[in-house]
Chains A and B, each alone.
Chain A
Amino acid sequence: MASKAADVIGTQPLLPQPWVVSEVTRETDDVVTLTMDPGSGAAPMVFRPGQFNMLYAFGVGEVPISISGDPAHEAQLIHTLRAVGFVTRALCALQPGDLIGVRGPYGSHWPIEQHAGRDIVLVAGGIGLAPLRPAIYHILSHRDRYGEVALLYGARKPDELLFPDEFDAWRKAGIQVEITVDNADACWEGRVGVVTTLIRHGRFERTAASAFMCGPEVMMRFAAQELENQGVTPDKVFVSMERNMKCAIGLCGHCQLGPEFICTDGAVFALPRVQRLMTIREL
């Protein structure tokens, strides 16, 4: 599942490849989706849902960002980023035609193929829908391989929902898309409440479901608890973890969480491997 440091060492693993921004989509006030084509010398990228790249804003810095595009479309690379600091702000300010440095893909992936035949629950919070979108695209291309599929998505406010234009198509393709926001004004006719409330009402067979979660760790902890209350066992739950990174290939230890290196052992983990670590303040 994980890419090994030894696989990439010796191939100039820290050297970013040039990609060219071809499209910039403003998703919300502070979230942007960048579509990129390979620049000169860069090859199209084969990746698996849940993997991430190190994106380099020239002269500013490099950050890990999950791939949010369709794994079947290798020619283009799509990332969705929230501007929170120096590097992400610089990346979100890029324009079509600008160059960006990319190295990857890195890390483990959502083990979605191993869970064929089961019901699938995707729990996303905020920007966490972006790393799950490649898994959704995979499911859409292989819809008959899965039972019930439920996307349970929570955001802070209605105007912070990502990819709302795609929800109808996902629903038509047989995905139950349930949305909730933390608060709203009276114009919003959807649900208001935390994402855990969606788990209680999701249509899926509790004992035959596998869950894939991405969002703030606090949210994932409570969602994992709720999934377990509903009968989904932790070994069938997978989470994507975030820690600051430098090398992304298991060399520097920057991303360490207890015994785990998020960059090579994760970022996607089976819940039992990280469940206890998620509660230790000192880590």
Chain B
Amino acid sequence: MKDLVTLVAEHPFFEDLAPAHLALVVGCAQMAVYKKNDYLFKYGDDAAYFFLLRYGRVALELTGPGADSFRFQTVGAGEVLGWSWLFPPHQSQFDARVIEDARVIRFDGKCLRAKCDSDPVLGYDLMKRFAQVMVRRFADTRLQLIDVYGKQGR
């Protein structure tokens, strides 16, 4: 079985991470398994963690009182989930529900923030990685918003 260091190093999100930084981030990581319908987090929770998915699929949902939940994105193997841990007020913005049994690497946000504060090079590297994910998600969201398969998308 692969150890945590190898699993983190092999995950696409941490591709080419410097060995010294790898050791630092692994110090805040642990493996976790979630079953179908478990929540990784819910709207308004303290955003204590972020997750690298190794297997399975997680749905991001918004729900209102008495309403069905609206599923606006899914995240699967090889992807990263959660950036609210990086920014105040460190609160989750939606629900993250497992829809296919998931194996993840879970990172403690507080632990990582402390390491980023004391090692700005690591902080900058992490910030760049998350910024890239965010830019992609925003671009994807734009495509969803213009309803590309409807008449507007022609």
What is A's interface to B at a CB cutoff of 8 Å? 84, 125-127, 154-156, 160, 180, 182-186, 188-194, 196-197, 201, 215-219, 222, 242
Contacts and interface: CB of A to CB of B under 8 A. Distances in A.
Interface residues of B, number: 29
Contacts of A156: 147, 149-150
Contact of A194 (B69, B71, B148): B148
Interface stretch (B3-11, B20-28, B73-81): B73-81
A182 B70 CA distance: 11
B74 A219 contact: no
Interface of B: 57, 59-61, 68-74, 76-78, 97, 99-100, 139-140, 143-144, 146-151, 153-154
Contacts of A154: 149
B interface, by DSSP: helix, strand, loop or mixed? Answer: mixed
A148 B74 CA distance: 25
A125 B143 CA distance: 12
B77 to A, nearest CB: 8
Contacts of B57: 189, 191
B149 A193 contact: no
Contacts, number: 81
Nearest to B151: A84
Nearest to A183: B72
A219 B153 contact: yes
Nearest to B75: A193
Given A192-B71, A194-B140, A218-B154, 9 more contacts: A180-B74, A182-B149, A185-B70, A189-B57, A216-B149, A216-B154, A217-B153, A219-B143, A222-B139
Contacts of A180: 74
Contacts of B144: 182-183, 193-194
Nearest 10 Cβ contacts at the A-B interface = A126-B149, A216-B153, A156-B149, A194-B143, A192-B74, A184-B71, A194-B140, A186-B69, A191-B74, A182-B144
